[in-house]
Every structure is written in C-alpha cells, then in structure tokens.
Structure 1
C-alpha cells in the first residue's frame, strides 16, 4: 500500500440528534467538533440526520403505501387469492 495516499482511519463518534443516540466506531470522517466519550477520551463527533435508531425500517414504523389499490388490481388481474 502506498503511503500518504489513503485518508486516516481513526475513532469517531456518530451522533443522531433526532434519536438522542451516539455510537463510537472507526471511520475516515473528520470533524472540528469534539466530544468526551464514556471512557474519558475525546473524539471527533459527526452529526448524522438518520441512523438505525431513527430509521423507520429499523424501528418497525415503516409503512407500505398503496394509494392506488395496486395490490388489489394485481390480484384481480392475475387471480390472486
């Protein structure tokens, strides 16, 4: 691997403000803002709009919208039960 070609890979805290959730992981993302974590160390913090704590698919709040009756039309057309 060539030196100084790839970005640095370091610990970063990702914070989802809508869910009030933060997690520490390793990433190449950078930020000027820092936060003190539970272990007493300070890490760069990156605010994200959505994470697994607030995404409808992962929280079980996802809905399938069938505004035009497409499922019923499919069942009529192809004889679904």
Structure 2
C-alpha cells in the first residue's frame, strides 16, 4: 500500500437527514460550516437530503418526494390545456 495518501483530519461528524430530522454520528473528513450540540458536545454538522432514514428502499414506502424540476413544472402548468382537448 502507498503511504501518506489517506487524509489525516478524520473526526466525528453528525449527518442529519433534513426530511425527518434523524441523525447519526460517524467519522468523516467532510467539510462543514454548521455545528450541532449533542449531549453537551459540539460536533460538525452535515445536512443530507436523503439517507437510509428517508429513502424508499429502506423505509418501504412507495412514494418518493423529490423537489419539483422544470419538466414537472411544465407538465403541471399545461395540464389544464390538455383537459380542454
């Protein structure tokens, strides 16, 4: 194995799922701007849009909520004209 290729700044980081406010603590080198206090200890905070707590594969839910993209907005906007024909 090559020496001195792995980062040296591993630390405990809180990964928080913004969809349901669940979190877990893991060691990481991810850059963060926010911090969170858990049990009196300040940790760097990384906010995730999806994790195993909210992903349909792990939750068993069929519905998957995604931010509306341009195609969905277009379809919704012109859906009323389709009904007239």
| TM superposition score category, shorter chain reference | 0.5 to 0.7
Deviation at 1:61, TM superposition (A): 1.3
Greater Cα radius of gyration, structure 1 or 2: 1
Deviation at 1:19, TM superposition (A): 1.3
- For residues 7-61 of structure 1, what are the alpha-carbon distances to aligned partners after superposition, in whole Å with 9 as ceiling and x for unaligned? 51110000111011011111111212110012x1101000001011100000011
Secondary structure in 2 aligned to 1:36? strand
Distance 1:22 1:46 in 2: 10
Superposition TM-score, scaled by structure 1 size: 0.66
Secondary structure in 1 aligned to 2:61? coil
Superposition TM-score, scaled by structure 2 size: 0.63
Whose helix fraction is larger, Structure 1's or Structure 2's? 2
Partner of 1:9: 10
Aligned-residue Cα RMSD (Å) equals 1.9
Aligned residues between the structures: 61
Structure 1 unmatched runs, 5+: 64-81
* Match status 1:60 vs 2:60: yes
